[in-house]
Structure 1
Amino acid sequence: MRISLTAFVTLDGVSQGPGSSTEDTSGGFSRGGWFVPHLDQAFVQRASEWLDLADGLLFGRPGRPVRRANELAAEVRRVQHP
């Protein structure tokens, strides 16, 4: 078994709250959402390919509600725009 870690980290070492400004405000962090403005379709495709290679995914406790919200939003989009 091989274990691989994927993390989104800024050049100055921030690895917290890349998706939403309210995703992780622990420790007074106020710059969440730094990653979203830089997303493009090429990155989404590449990240999808990386995840497809995994036999399983491990999410920390704070990540589960965010992941579930994203899954629900994706399901709503599929229903609204088949």
Structure 2
Amino acid sequence: MKIFEYVKGAVIPGEGAIEVTVVTKTGREFVYRQESENGRFIPPYSTLDNPYDVMTAGNYRIVGGGEEITVTEEAVIRGE
């Protein structure tokens, strides 16, 4: 069983899909991927200042492009 805490998530304007590699406290890696909805993404994982055992291994990437996006923990918690 996995329990996740609800967070507002950061808000990033854009279209398409973003993805980031997430690493669990046991070292398991998976790729979190999200499609935009209504011209925005709401990523739940920060790429900076993350105090938790589950963290990203880099920045969010626009799928099919080279752009990377940094997301702070404060933006995720506050929904910024």
Q: Same fold (TM over 0.5)?
A: no
- Compute the TM-score of the two structures, normalised by the length of structure 1: 0.25
- Compute the TM-score of the two structures, normalised by the length of structure 2: 0.25
Of structures 1 and 2, the one scoring higher in RCO (CA 8 A, sep 6+) is 2
Greater strand share, structure number? 2
